[in-house]
């Protein structure tokens, strides 16, 4: 099992969710986060005073998938979250030791 973490533009959340459910990848966890990468924030102007806003709002998606579906899942996220503009975000993948469905006690791939 692998944990896929994707940080994407907030308005792309629906597109990513639809793309994943279309191929039968159900169950994602979403959180609102802030951060910056190469995009380095943006500028806001209030009464002529410029403010550099370093941390940009992003959405962080987490899902755990069986090893053989990692490539498919990440491809779907890349496809659906891409705008070709700076700030589209990043995906990283981590190994997962165990997964347990709380209701039934199922473990491993069965719990996903």
Partner 1 sequence: MHINTGDTAWILASTALVLLMTPGLALFYGGMVRAKNVLGMIMQNFAAIGVVSLVWVWVTYSLAFGPDWGGHGLIGTFHFFGLANIEGNPPGYSLTIPHVLFMAFQMMFAIITPALITGASADRLKFGAFILFITVWSVIVYAPVAHWVFDPNGWLFKRGAEDFAGGTVVHINAGVAGLAVALVVGRRKGWPKKAMPPHNVPMILLGAGLLWFGWFGFNAGSALGANLLASNAFVNTNTAAAAAMLAWLLVEKLKDGKPTTLGAASGAVAGLVAITPACGYVNVVGATLIGLAAGALCALAVRLKYLVKLDDALDVGGVHFIGGVIGALLIGFFGTKAIGGVNGVFHGGGFGLLGKQALAVAVVAAYSFIVSWLLAMAIHKTIGFRISEEQEEEGMDTTLHAETAYEFSPSFGSGR
| Contact positions vs partner 1 (CB under 8 A) | 44-53
Measured from the CB of residue 47, what is the shortest distance to partner 1 in angstroms?
Answer: 5
Q: Where are the strands (E) in the chain, listed by range?
A: 2-8, 29-35, 42-46, 49-53, 56-65, 89-95
Given the complex with partner 1, which of 24 and 48 has the nearer CB atom? Answer: 48
Given the complex with partner 1, which of 51 and 92 has the nearer CB atom? Answer: 51
Task: Measure the CA–CA gap between 39 and 59, rounded to whole angstroms.
Answer: 15
Is the separation of the CB atoms in 43 and 36 below 8 Å?
no
Measured from the CB of residue 50, what is the shortest distance to partner 1 in angstroms?
Answer: 8
Given the complex with partner 1, which of 38 and 47 has the nearer CB atom? Answer: 47
Is the separation of the CB atoms in 57 and 7 below 8 Å?
no
Measured from the CB of residue 43, what is the shortest distance to partner 1 in angstroms?
Answer: 10
Given the complex with partner 1, which of 45 and 86 has the nearer CB atom? Answer: 45
């Amino acid at each position: 099992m692998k944990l896929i973490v994707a940080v994407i533009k907030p308005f792309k959340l629906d597109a990513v969710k639809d793309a994943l459910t279309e191929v039968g990848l159900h169950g994602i966890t979403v959180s609102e986060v802030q951060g910056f990468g190469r995009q380095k924030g943006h500028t806001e102007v209030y009464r002529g005073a410029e403010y550099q806003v370093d941390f940009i709002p992003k959405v962080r998606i987490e899902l755990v998938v069986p090893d053989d579906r990692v490539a498919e899942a990440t491809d779907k996220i890349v496809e659906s979250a891409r705008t070709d503009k700076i700030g589209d975000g990043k995906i990283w993948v981590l190994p997962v030791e165990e997964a347990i469905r709380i209701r039934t006690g199922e473990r491993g791939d069965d719990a996903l």
